[in-house]
Structure 1
C-alpha cells in the first residue's frame, strides 16, 4: 500500500473549526455554515435542498423536529416539532422524511387493531418547516395481527421526482409473505401499485428474503426475491432467485425474471438499474456441501446483468475471493486452509464506474445486545454497534473482478436504550427484508452515525472517508489497526483508490483540540459533485458543503 501524509489534508478541513468560510485544496472545496445555536436536538437526516432552503430531521429523546436552514450561510431559520395528529385515538408513529421533486414530506404509520390494518400517511412540510393540515392516506394494508403487521420501507428514485414505498409482512398461519409496493410522484399521487402474497411451504430451514427493491430513471420498479431451503430426501439445496419487474412501458404489469444456477446460495443482493437499460445484481454467495446444506459463509461475489427490455439474463458470474483478500479478512493461516469468510458483511454501496463496470463496498457490521438491567419492559439494554473493515471490489463490465482490496478500520459505538422495540420488524423468523447498511432513525443521534464511511466517486476515482483513531496514522495493515472506541476524539481519514486497486491513505497532520467531527451517515448529495454534510462535537453543530471541482 502507499502511504502519504501531506502538510494539509483536504479532509481535515472538512471537520475543523476554522476562521475561514471557504478553503480550496486540490479538487475539493469545503465550507461550513454558522453554528447551530439550538443544538440540543441532533440532526439525523438531511432531507434535501429546495428554493434556497435546506430541510433536516433532528431528534431529542423520542421527539422528532424539522429544522430549516438558509442555503447561503446554512444558518438556522426555524425548528418545528413533528406532531402527527391522532388517527382513531391512536398515535401516528413517525417513519420517514424525504424530498420528492420540489416538495418535502414526512410519513407516519399506525396499526388499527379492529380492522387489522397497517396505515401509512404522508403530509407535506411547508416552507416554514411546519406541517400541512392535510394528511394523505397512502397505504391501508390488511394484515393478520399486530405481531405480523410488518413494516414500511422507503427508497428515493435516482431522478428525485419519485418515491418508492414498500410494505412487507409475514402471514405465518397462511404461510405467505405479503408485499405491497407503490411509486409516488411529488404530489403523492400513486404512479404504480402492486400487492401480492407469495406462498411458501413450512419447510425446515426455509429462508425467504426480499433482498432489494429499487426504481430506475425510467420509473421502472424492481424487487428481488430470494428463497432458499434444503430438500432432505434428495439432499439438494433449492434456491429461488428472481426479480419481480414492473415496467412503466408495459403499464406496470408484473414480470418475473428467473436467475438460474445450482450448487450455490445467495447471501445478499445490491441492485442497480442504469441508464443503458441494464439491471445489475451484485452480492455475496456461499458454496453448498454434498449433502445439500449451504455453508452460509462467504465464498465470493456474484454479478448478474439483465437486459431490462427483454428480461434476458445476459450473464451471471461467480467470483471467489482471491488469496490476498482472504488473508486480510480471516488471516493467513485460515486462508491457506481454504476457509471461507464469516457472513458478517453487509452491502454498503454499489457504484457504476465510468467504463460500465461496478464497485461494490461491503462493510463488516455487528450489533451486540448486552444484558438488560431493570424490570420487565422498562429494563434498559446496552447496545453496541460495530462497523469494521470494508471490502472494496471493482468489477469489469463483463462481471469479472478487476481488483479487490480491504479498507482497514475498527469502529464501535455504544448506547443504552429501553429493551422494548430495539430493532423493529425487519426480521420475523425466517423472513427478512434486507436493509443493507441502514441504521434505524430511533438509533441515530446516539453514536452509530459517527461510524461507517462516506464513499465519493468522481472523475473515475473512488475516495472513501471515515472517522479514525489518531493512533492509526499511516497504518494500512489490518492487523495493526486500533479501535475507534471514543468517537468524540475521532479524526478524519481517507482512502483514495488507484486504477490497480492500491490506495493512498491520507491523515490529518495538525488536529485541532476541539474540532468538529464528521458524521458519515448523515449527508445529502445535491449533485454529482456536491454534498451537504453535518459535523458536530458535543455542544457545537454545523452544516457544511463538500464540493468537487
Structure 2
C-alpha cells in the first residue's frame, strides 16, 4: 500500500528581585532569580494564572515534573513528579499537560492489546501540583492493531478555556482512515464529538491521502481538512481534492463539507488559521506539474484559499510563485536565473493574521538526521541531529495574493543522543503526524534542540523575529555571508524587524555580555502580542523571564 501520511510572548516590572538582562531595540528581556540546580529541565511553559506560572520539566529518561513559580519574582514554589494513575492495571504514558481556565490537567495514553483499544485519560492537578487519584476517560478508540494505533493531537482554543483533541489511525484492511475529534471544556466535559472512517483508493497513480490540519476558532467551531491527490495517467493530469469538514457550534455541530478541486498543481502541504473576521484560511506550498501530469515535488510558491462563512461561494485558490529575489536567497543567483524551484525542505511553523486581514507565513528549513543506533539488547542509543535554518517569510494580502516575500538568514544545528527501547520494526503506516512543522519529542528537549528556531512577534504592522545567532554574524543580513551557530552556549540574541513592505532591519546587542543567558526559543509562552514568558540558560544556570515588545 502506498504511503499514507497525516499532515496535520505593556507589562510593568517593578519588583526589585527582577533585573534587566538584555535590551535590543524595543525588546526587553527581564529575568528572575536563578533556579535551583535540580537536574530538571523545563520543556514547556504551560501558562500563567492566579499569580502563578506553571511549567513542565523533565529529568533523566522520562521522569516528568510539574513546577510552579511565583509570577512576580519567578521564584519556585513547588516541584512535583507527574505519575498518572494506572488504567485497568496498565501503566499510562504521559502525553501532555494543559491549563484550561485555571484548571490544570495531566493527560496520558495507554494501549489495551486485548481490546485493540487506544485510550486517553485526563487527571486533575491541584494548584499545589498534586495529581488526583482518579482519571477521567477521554477516548477509547478502537484500532486495527498496535502498530497502527495512531496518535493523539491537541489544540487549545484561542481563549485557552477549551481543548480540542483528535485521534487518527489507519485501517489498512479496509483502505480507510479513521479520525475522531472531541472538544473538551475546562472540566474535561465533552462539548462536541465526531468520529468517522474515510475511505481512500490507493490503486491510483501517485496516490496520497493526507489529513493535513485541524483547527478551533474563537466561536468553538471545529475544522478539519483532508487532501486527496493522485495522477490521472490517461488525461495526464494531477488531481488535488480538498475537503474541509466543518462543525459549527451555531449549527449544533452538524457536519458541513466544503469541496475544493484543483488541477495542474500539486499541493505539498496545508495549514489552517481561523481569523477574527470569521473566515478560515488555508495556506501551504505547491509544486508545478509536468506535461505527463507527474508532479515535480519541489516548491513553486505559496497558495491561499479563504472560506468566508457569510458567503456560499466556493473559495478561490490563489497561487503565488516565489519572486526572483527570494529565490536568489534560497537557491543562489545561477539556479534562480535557470528557473529552478525550491527544495521541499521547508515547513510552515507560524501563521499570523495581519491587521488588515492578510496573512504572514513563516516557513523554516527543518531537517532531522538519525545516526546508526548502538546498544545491547532492546536498549538502543541513537545519535540525532536537528537542523533549523533560514525562514521564508511570505506576506499575503487579504485576497490571498502576494504582498511581499523575504528570507530571514540563520543556520542552526544541535546534536544529541537519545535512548529508546527497540521493539522491532514497525510498519511504514504505523506512525502518523498532523501538520508539517518539525515536532521535537519532549524527551529530546532539555538537551539542546530547544535552543534552535525563533520567536516571532507581530505588533503595529511589523513582524519581529528573535533567535540565537553566532556572534560573528553581527550586522549581517546576507544569507551567503552568515556563519553557522555552532555552540549555542556561546550564541547571542539577534532581532530581525520586517516593516510593512518586507524590508529587513537587523538589531544586535550593543555589547556582548560575558556568560549571558541564552534563549530557548523552543520553550516559551505567549501571553499576548507583546508579552512572552521565557526560559533561558547558561550551562547549569537556568532562569525564567519575560520578554516585552514595547510600542
Superposition pairs of residues 104-503 of structure 1, within 5 angstroms: 104-203=104-203, 204-310=205-311, 312-418=313-419, 420=421, 428=429, 432-503=433-504
For the 8 Å contact 2:27–2:549, the answer to whether it is kept is: yes
Deviation at 1:174, TM superposition (A): 1.3
Deviation at 1:435, TM superposition (A): 4.7
Deviation at 1:278, TM superposition (A): 0.8
Alpha-carbon distance in structure 2 between the residues aligned to 1:197 and 1:210: 12
Report the secondary structure of 2:174's partner residue: coil
Counting matched residue pairs gives 532
Deviation at 1:476, TM superposition (A): 1.1
Deviation at 1:229, TM superposition (A): 1.8
Aligned to 1:55: 54
For the 8 Å contact 2:24–2:509, the answer to whether it is kept is: no
- CA, structure 1 residues 28+327, in 2 after alignment: closer, same or farther (shift >3 Å)? closer
Residue 41 of structure 1 pairs with residue 40 of structure 2 = yes
For the 8 Å contact 2:20–2:28, the answer to whether it is kept is: no
Aligned to 2:101: 101
Aligned to 2:6: none
Alpha-carbon distance in structure 2 between the residues aligned to 1:360 and 1:181: 26
Q: Deviations over 1:234-267 (max 9, x none)?
A: 4322211121111101111111111122111111
Alpha-carbon distance in structure 2 between the residues aligned to 1:131 and 1:311: 48
Q: Deviations over 1:293-317 (max 9, x none)?
A: 1111000000110012445334320
TM-score (norm 2): 0.92
Q: Deviations over 1:381-405 (max 9, x none)?
A: 1100000000001111121111100
Alpha-carbon distance in structure 2 between the residues aligned to 1:487 and 1:382: 18
Deviation at 1:513, TM superposition (A): 2.1
Deviation at 1:432, TM superposition (A): 4.7
Aligned to 2:4: none
Q: Deviations over 1:510-546 (max 9, x none)?
A: 2222111110111111223211111112211111111
Q: Deviations over 1:455-499 (max 9, x none)?
A: 000121110000011111121111111111211111111100122
- CA, structure 1 residues 291+22, in 2 after alignment: closer, same or farther (shift >3 Å)? closer
Q: Which runs of 5+ in 1 are unaligned?
A: 1-13
For the 8 Å contact 1:231–1:238, the answer to whether it is kept is: yes
Aligned to 1:91: 91
Aligned to 1:5: none
Q: Deviations over 1:359-387 (max 9, x none)?
A: 00000000011122234532321100000
Deviation at 1:72, TM superposition (A): 1.2
Alpha-carbon distance in structure 2 between the residues aligned to 1:183 and 1:205: 35
Q: Deviations over 1:417-463 (max 9, x none)?
A: 135479x9998379653252432212211211100100000121110
For the 8 Å contact 2:148–2:430, the answer to whether it is kept is: no
Alpha-carbon distance in structure 2 between the residues aligned to 1:479 and 1:426: 41
For the 8 Å contact 2:379–2:422, the answer to whether it is kept is: no
For the 8 Å contact 1:49–1:71, the answer to whether it is kept is: yes
For the 8 Å contact 1:151–1:426, the answer to whether it is kept is: no
Alpha-carbon distance in structure 2 between the residues aligned to 1:24 and 1:464: 14
For the 8 Å contact 2:33–2:74, the answer to whether it is kept is: yes
Considering only aligned residues, what root-mean-square deviation do their CA atoms show, in Å? Answer: 2.2
Alpha-carbon distance in structure 2 between the residues aligned to 1:427 and 1:444: 25
Alpha-carbon distance in structure 2 between the residues aligned to 1:174 and 1:25: 57
Deviation at 1:343, TM superposition (A): 0.4
Alpha-carbon distance in structure 2 between the residues aligned to 1:427 and 1:547: 45
TM-score (norm 1): 0.93
- CA, structure 1 residues 141+22, in 2 after alignment: closer, same or farther (shift >3 Å)? same
Q: Which runs of 5+ in 2 are unaligned?
A: 1-12
Report the secondary structure of 1:73's partner residue: coil
For the 8 Å contact 1:209–1:434, the answer to whether it is kept is: no
Report the secondary structure of 1:479's partner residue: coil
Q: Deviations over 1:117-150 (max 9, x none)?
A: 0000011121001112231100000001100110
Alpha-carbon distance in structure 2 between the residues aligned to 1:427 and 1:100: 36
Report the secondary structure of 2:334's partner residue: helix
Alpha-carbon distance in structure 1 between the residues aligned to 2:408 and 2:477: 8
